[in-house]
Structure 1
Amino acid sequence: MAKALIGYVGGPTSDQLRESARLRRRVADLETEVLRLKIENEGLLRTLAQRVDEVDELLEPVAH
């Protein structure tokens, strides 16, 4: 009986397999994009910190 039920229920259809593969590719693409944006954001934060330091150095003589 169990074999009959498993045979009846079957596995995923070819459409389901294609959709699953498409979704896995999309998730991988999005993970890559998130990593790229994190790296870009870190670079922007470093640049901002450098510019803030430069402005602070320019303002130091005025503060004294």
Structure 2
Amino acid sequence: MAKALIGYIGGPPTEQLRETASLHRRIADLEDEILRLKVENDGLLRTIRERVDHVTAGDLMQPAAH
């Protein structure tokens, strides 16, 4: 009887199951986005390091182009 009072007969309601599935999909989408951004960020960092490695003291003495 206690289960009937809290509405827990037969497991979680269908709407709650749908919401949980939706949240799981959203989490997976966000994790994919995080991975994509990390890969992109790593590529950008690699490009910056490569360019910095090719900078000479002479390059630093030249005025910056605006």
TM-score (norm 2): 0.73
Counterpart of 1:15 in 2: which secondary structure? helix
Root-mean-square deviation over aligned CA pairs: 2.1
Identity %: 54
Deviations 1:11-62 (A, max 9, x none): 2111100000000000000001001100110110000000111113xx26x8
In the alignment of these two chains, the number of paired residues is 57
The residue number in structure 2 matching 1:5 is 2
**Which runs of 5 or more structure 2 residues have no equivalent in the other structure?**
62-66
The residue number in structure 1 matching 2:47 is 47
Give the AA of the match of 1:43: G
**Which runs of 5 or more structure 1 residues have no equivalent in the other structure?**
none
Greater relative contact order (Cα < 8 A, sep 6+): 2
TM-score (norm 1): 0.75
The structure carrying a bigger helix percent of its residues is 1
